[in-house]
Amino acid sequence: MKKSALVIINPSSGKEQATEYEEQIRETLQDTYSEITVKYTEGEGDATRFAKEAAENNYDFVVSLGGDGTVNETVNGLAPFNNPPKLGIIPMGTVNDLARSLNIPMKPVDAIKLLVSGTETKIDIGMANDDIYFTNILGIGSAAKAIHHVDSAEKSKIGPIAYLKAIGKEIMDDHTFPIKFEMEEDIWEGDVSVVLISLIDSLGGIKTIVNEVENGDGNFHIFAVKHLNLTELAKMTPSIVMGKLKESENVQYFKTGQVNITTSAGETQESDIDGEQGPNLPLDLKVLQQHITIISNKS
């Protein structure tokens, strides 16, 4: 039976070295897939459109070569389908959180080999307001907002430090805002500085921060940080290093498969979804459990 694969390449990824890997990808896939199509993104939304077309045309496999943004776009093209194609990732971004969570090699040449030798792993997908999908982190608050305003050129130049610089500026401000979580079995409201809603165990490229998260467990892991300033950050550091963020006195932790998030009338709060700007509150979030199969390096 003939099998088909679509390879989506973001040519600006990996300090614009992504195009160098097309030949190796074709050689790696050719024994398994008789039809291999390669498409290059030129602008925002291209990866989503390409992935959607692949699902509509019953492709067996979609490969995303790029950073977290390219992977997010690819997922947004696949997730609306009940039985989407399998997904392969070749990480070439600044952080590559999803790839790290799945033990996918950070070296592209090794990640390419994994496409045909890895393990099929089903992962959860987050759905926001019924039409936006994500795999990693949804953030709310000024620190989260700062992430999606980081300049692309600066990310390419100094990598993850660009994110730390942006967040550092917000830490000095420590702005708080009212928020309300309406979950399946609980309701909570209070003032917070930042909210992190995670589906994976890697945050900012570090796998020890949110050890509570288990891929495919069907839950959002919500960390509501009450204050984000230098003093509180210093107090939280041991919890962060030991992967026990939820045990910090400065953090309210929840685990749920569905949540509605609102803020007070007159307040405007942006969200950040997988490093890109998301919709303003209110948000209605739901986990699509084990919805997409990814080729990973997990046993």
Domain borders along the chain are: 4-117, 134-288
The per-residue pLDDT for range 160-212, each reduced to its tens digit, is: 444 444 455 555 567 899 999 999 889 999 999 989 999 988 766 665 556 66
Q: What are the residues whose beta carbons fall under 8 Å from the beta carbon of 214, sequence distance 6 or more?
A: 201
Q: Please give the C-alpha separations between residue 208 and each of 15, 101, 120, 240, 241, in angstroms, as whole numbers.
A: 27, 11, 24, 7, 6
Q: Sign of dihedral through CA atoms 236, 238, 244, 247?
A: negative
Confidence at residue 212, expressed as pLDDT on a 0 to 100 scale: 65
Q: What is the pLDDT of residue 77?
A: 98
Contact 190, 178 (CB under 8 A): yes
Q: Which pTM was predicted?
A: 0.88
Segment among 106-120, 147-161, 229-243 with least mean pLDDT: 147-161
Answer whether residue 228 shows pLDDT above 50.
yes
Residue 90's DSSP bridge partners are 65
pLDDT value at position 156? 47
Query: What pLDDT, on the 0 to 100 scale, is given for residue 168?
Result: 53
Please give the pLDDT value at position 244.
74
User: Residue 46: exposed, middle, or buried by beta-carbon count in 10 A (0-12, 13-18, 19+)?
Assistant: middle
Residue 157: CB partners within 8 Å, gap ≥ 6? none
Q: What is the DSSP string of the chain?
A: ---EEEEEE-TTHHHHTGGGGHHHHHHHHTTT-SEEEEEE--STTHHHHHHHHHHHTT-SEEEEEE-HHHHHHHHHHHTTSSSPPEEEEEE-SSS-HHHHHTT--SSHHHHHHHHHHSEEEEEEEEEETTTEEESSEEEESHHHHHHTTS-HHHHHHHTTHHHHHHHHHHHTT---EEEEEEESS-EEEEEESEEEEESSS-BTTBSSTTTT--TTSS-EEEEEES--SHHHHHHHHHHHHTT-GGGSTTEEEEEESEEEEE--TT----EEETTEE-PPSPEEEEEEEEEEEEEES--
CB–CB of 38/69 below 8 Å?
no
Residue with the two structure tokens 């160098």: 20
Average pLDDT over residues 123-127: 97
Query: Contact at 8 Å (CB) between 51 and 37?
Result: no
Residues carrying an active site annotation: 276
CA distance 139 to 141: 7
Question: 17-49: per-residue pLDDT in tens?
Answer: 778 899 999 999 999 999 999 999 999 999 999
CB of 259 within 8 A of CB of 181?
A: yes
pLDDT digits 0-9 by tens, 65-79: 999 999 999 999 999
Does residue 147 carry a pLDDT above 60?
A: no
Looking at residue 97, its amino acid is D
129, 284 Cβ separation under 8 angstroms: yes
Average pLDDT over residues 102-107: 96
| Token duo for residue 295 | 């080729």
Decide which of 50 and 211 is more confident: 50
Residue 53, pLDDT > 80, answer yes
Fold equal for 4-117 and 134-288: no
Tell me which CATH code domain 4-117 carries: 3.40.50.10330
The CATH code for residues 134-288 is 2.60.200.40
**Mean pLDDT confidence for 106-132:** 97
pLDDT-based confidence at residue 115 (cuts at 50, 70, 90): very high
pLDDT at residue 268 in the model: 86
The pLDDT, as a whole number, for residue 275 is 82
**Residue 265, pLDDT score:** 76
Residue 155 pLDDT grade (very low, low, confident, very high; cuts 50, 70, 90): very low
Task: Say which residue the tokens 């950040």 belong to.
Answer: 272
